[in-house]
Amino acid sequence: MNIVFLGPPGAGKGTYAKELVKMLGIPHISTGDMFREAVASGSELGKKVEEILKKGELVPDDLTISIVKERLAKEDCEKGFILDGFPRTVDQAKALDEILKMLNKKLEYAIYFEVSEDVVVQRITNRRVCKNCGKIYNLITLPPKVDGKCDVCGGELYQREDDKEEVVKRRYRVYMENTYPVIEYYQKQNKLFTVDGSSGVDSVIKEVLNIIRG
């Protein structure tokens, strides 16, 4: 099952993907997570992208496409994948079609989570993430049981560097300009499925399952 998740920053892509991959037995591939891991490890890639992420701008297409190409060729993608945060430009979407063709695969579902800008800013400024296992919380909608600690592993919760209000607004503008056209790209291919991302996590996940299970 080859799936792409689309939607503005804070739409819930990571939250839904993390739950769904457990049910579907396929990997969750988040380019944002890959870039943040690179920054944290201090690798060459991390040094290249650190400032770009901080400002909420897009990493250049060639660099992003090459890491996705390498990742999709791995054995664990044999039964499918959920791509979260890629493609983010029409050129990335075209490149994905090429990569999948080369691998003898096809994209089946482009699922678009529709959420308003107000909800996005509210969700992101209250987001906290576990440093250890990556579980995503929200101080208002999905709070941890103990302040500052992960329910699952006890790890410390932190706020992403690009989750400050002014950077969030910049990310939203970048999304509208560069990523919104990708939605139309998949509509033309008859692969687009729109889900109301403003309802609760469980109901959004149920709706995605309805789509992919027909």
Known catalytic residues? 13, 88, 127, 160, 171
Site for Mg ion in 13-32 (CB under 5 A): 14
* Ordered DSSP codes for the chain: -EEEEE--TTSSHHHHHHHHHHHHT--EEEHHHHHHHHHHHT-HHHHHHHHHHHHT-PPPHHHHHHHHHHHHTSGGGTT-EEEES---SHHHHHHHHHHHHHTT----EEEEEE--HHHHHHHHHTEEEETTT--EEETTTB--SSTTB-TTT-PBEE--GGGSHHHHHHHHHHIIIIIHHHHHHHHHTT-EEEEETTS-HHHHHHHHHHHHT-
Instruction: Based on the shown chain and the rule CB under 5 A, indicate whether residue 7 belongs to the binding site for Mg ion.
Output: no
x/- map, 92-131, ligand AP5, by CB under 6 A: x------------------------------xx-xx----
Q: Indicate the residue among 129 and 214 with the shorter CB distance to ligand AP5.
A: 129
Instruction: Based on the shown chain and the rule CB under 6 A, indicate whether residue 134 belongs to the binding site for ligand AP5.
Output: no
Pick the binder of ligand AP5 from 53, 72, 130, 157 (CB under 6 A): 53
123 binds, among Mg ion, ligand AP5, none (CB under 5 to 8 A by kind): ligand AP5
Instruction: Based on the shown chain and the rule CB under 6 A, indicate whether residue 28 belongs to the binding site for ligand AP5.
Output: no
Pick the binder of ligand AP5 from 26, 27, 85, 93 (CB under 6 A): 85
Nearest distance from C-beta of residue 213 to ligand AP5, angstroms: 20
Pick the binder of ligand AP5 from 1, 77, 136, 183 (CB under 6 A): 136
Nearest distance from C-beta of residue 212 to ligand AP5, angstroms: 18
CB nearest ligand AP5: which residue? Answer: 32
Q: Indicate the residue among 29 and 192 with the shorter CB distance to ligand AP5.
A: 29
Pair 201, 113: CB distance under 8 Å: no
Instruction: Based on the shown chain and the rule CB under 5 A, indicate whether residue 8 belongs to the binding site for Mg ion.
Output: no
